[in-house]
Structure 1
Amino acid sequence: MTVLMHLSDLHFGAHDPAVCDAALRLAQRLGVSMAVVSGDLTQRATATQFEQAARFVQGLHARSTLVLAGNHDLPLFAWWMRWGRSYERFSTQFGLDYEPVRQAGAFYVVGVNTTRAWRHERGSLSSAQIQHVADLLARAPPDAWRIVASHHPLVARDAADRAHRPSRADEALERWRSAGAQMLLSGHAHQPALLNPMPGLWASHAGTAVSYRLRHGCPNSLVLLTVEASGEVEGGLARYASRWDYSAESGEFERVLRVTAI
């Protein structure tokens, strides 16, 4: 079994150490092939918070990591940094590639940056970004699980959730699906969900993984994508997406939902 762990909205500076420890235990127990963190690593984009987030990501001991910036990872109170230095503190810990591409085993993940220095919360996609991601998907290995990761969700859970989508989301959704996308990973809304907006395309909304900034009664949550041997599917390998919620009673993340992602 190969495992991708999708986490989002860590919000270090507003994190729960007990939940952090539980997430690390789960990652180490499963032997994660790839960890994808879809933004908002920090609460207020301070150097200390980025250092804390980096230690946490390293503690997952994933063989490959893909980390994206979220809107909280751009300075808010240090407003003077938003002109030319918006990603400076992020890049100190996570590098200068803000749209990384990673392949680990069956997983092929394309990261896209939906944050903008001049916006505090809303996300955006450019036509060039949409084309670039489509080109990368079209060149993906034929047997790979083709995944796109972003901070802002392209697919809304409901009408009230549509405001969280980046501009040009509909265009991106159509283009990337046509180019072969099979899974979308995102965060931002702190509301976990596994959605199937189109045949053959799934969307994973990770909740807040380790922060106490919970919303609408949603618990701390993360998502696991797994590729497992199975005699019931063509090729002998099945793809699953599962939601794991933190239980205060057990002090561990527990699986609450699993779907076959085909």
Structure 2
Amino acid sequence: MDLPAMQPQRLMHLSDLHFGAHDPQVCAAVQRLAHALQIRVVVVSGDLTQRATRTQFAQAHDFIQGLGVPERVVLAGNHDLPLFAWWLRWGRAYDRFAAQFGAQLEPQRQVGPFCVVGVNTTRPWRHERGSLSARQVDRVAADLLAAPNDAWCIVASHHPLVGRCAQDRSHRPLGADAAVARWREAGADMLLSGHVHQPGLSQPLPGLWSMQAGTAVSHRLRWGQPNSLVVLQVQSVVPVVGLEHVGTAPLQRHAQRWDFDAKAGDFVCVEARPLG
């Protein structure tokens, strides 16, 4: 009996693009990687722009189009709300975002093994920190409960829902603790976020992982971290007898961190961790 590996299915997670403060060389490298890895779905967890201008949103849209990934979950970040055009924050805060990415601020996608539920943690009346309402918590929990039993259930947000350090914890949206506990009970396997510009993987609760993406394509780097992104991979091994499949082994899930190597001019995988 042979055990051939099935083609991996991959999700790419980007955050904090900050178009208007972006590096074209890094943008091109992300697009090459997306094509090379045959990404099934891309999640962009906010801060697409530096100052929420129409030009910057158009640049972000063109970049995401160039990834060649038709299935997307694109969320707004606090930088995607007008700062200098402050009058737009009353009733029109998301107009420029919606013109390029649609009016759905909390998109969802079921693509292959991935079930991604987006949640908008930004608020027009807050400059930086976000929050979660009881209605949002209930809605995400219901979406998770409705997901297929074998799906990798992922909740994506701009602000980090868990904190690995004091600084991370200060950036969490209001209501994060209750939301994380509720969503874990409803079946969440992974939390994806950005905002803090520092990549990292942690396990806040048994069976629940949290992965933060770094700064994807911007030169607004922090703490000496390079440009960075996340790839989630699912792969199965199918026992074969002759030409007939007789069963399927459990899906193997991996979380990967890819950093930009300035000398090579491309992203390289610097960490790959199997997730139980």
Q: Deviations over 1:2-34 (max 9, x none)?
A: 110000000000000000000000001111100
Give the match for residue 160 of structure 2: 153
Separation (CA, whole Å) in 2 of partners of 1:198 and 1:178? 10
Give the match for residue 242 of structure 1: 256
Between the aligned residues of both structures, percent identity stands at 63
Separation (CA, whole Å) in 1 of partners of 2:237 and 2:169? 37
Runs of 4+ in 1 over 6 A off after TM superposition: none
Equivalent positions of 1:115-134 (< 5 A) are 115-134=122-141
Equivalent positions of 1:2-17 (< 5 A) are 2-17=9-24
Aligned residues: 261
Amino acid at match of 2:255: A
Separation (CA, whole Å) in 1 of partners of 2:70 and 2:172? 30
Separation (CA, whole Å) in 2 of partners of 1:203 and 1:40? 19
Separation (CA, whole Å) in 2 of partners of 1:159 and 1:230? 41
Q: Deviations over 1:204-253 (max 9, x none)?
A: 10001000000011110000001112479x83420100000001111110
Give the match for residue 270 of structure 2: 256
> Which residue of the other structure, out of 189, 193, 196, is the alignment partner of 1:189?
196
Kindly indicate whether the alpha-carbon contact (under 8 Å) linking 2:199 and 2:228 is maintained by their aligned counterparts in 1: yes
Kindly indicate whether the alpha-carbon contact (under 8 Å) linking 1:32 and 1:63 is maintained by their aligned counterparts in 2: no
Task: Using the TM superposition, name which of 57-66 and 176-185 deviates more.
Answer: 57-66
Separation (CA, whole Å) in 2 of partners of 1:181 and 1:196? 12
Separation (CA, whole Å) in 2 of partners of 1:200 and 1:207? 23
Q: Does 1:208 align with 2:222?
A: no
Shift, 1:200, TM fit: 1.0
Give the match for residue 72 of structure 1: 79
Shift, 1:165, TM fit: 0.4
Q: Does 1:27 align with 2:34?
A: yes
Q: Does 1:137 align with 2:144?
A: yes
**Structure 1 runs not aligned, ≥5 long:** none
The alignment partner of 2:201 has SS state of strand
Give the match for residue 219 of structure 1: 226
Separation (CA, whole Å) in 2 of partners of 1:222 and 1:196? 19
Kindly indicate whether the alpha-carbon contact (under 8 Å) linking 2:54 and 2:96 is maintained by their aligned counterparts in 1: yes
Give the match for residue 114 of structure 1: 121
Separation (CA, whole Å) in 1 of partners of 2:275 and 2:160? 18
Amino acid at match of 1:84: G
Equivalent positions of 1:81-92 (< 5 A) are 81-92=88-99
RMSD between superposed Cα atoms in Å:
1.2
The alignment partner of 2:79 has SS state of helix
Greater C-alpha radius of gyration:
2
Kindly indicate whether the alpha-carbon contact (under 8 Å) linking 2:160 and 2:168 is maintained by their aligned counterparts in 1: no
Shift, 1:63, TM fit: 3.1
Amino acid at match of 1:34: V
Separation (CA, whole Å) in 2 of partners of 1:161 and 1:184? 14
Kindly indicate whether the alpha-carbon contact (under 8 Å) linking 1:4 and 1:35 is maintained by their aligned counterparts in 2: yes
Separation (CA, whole Å) in 1 of partners of 2:220 and 2:210? 22
Amino acid at match of 1:207: G
Give the match for residue 176 of structure 2: 169
Q: Deviations over 1:122-175 (max 9, x none)?
A: 010001100110011011011110000000000112122211100011000100
Q: Return the TM-score normalized by structure 2.
A: 0.93
Shift, 1:198, TM fit: 1.5
Separation (CA, whole Å) in 1 of partners of 2:145 and 2:249? 21
Separation (CA, whole Å) in 1 of partners of 2:274 and 2:178? 26
Q: Does 1:53 align with 2:60?
A: yes
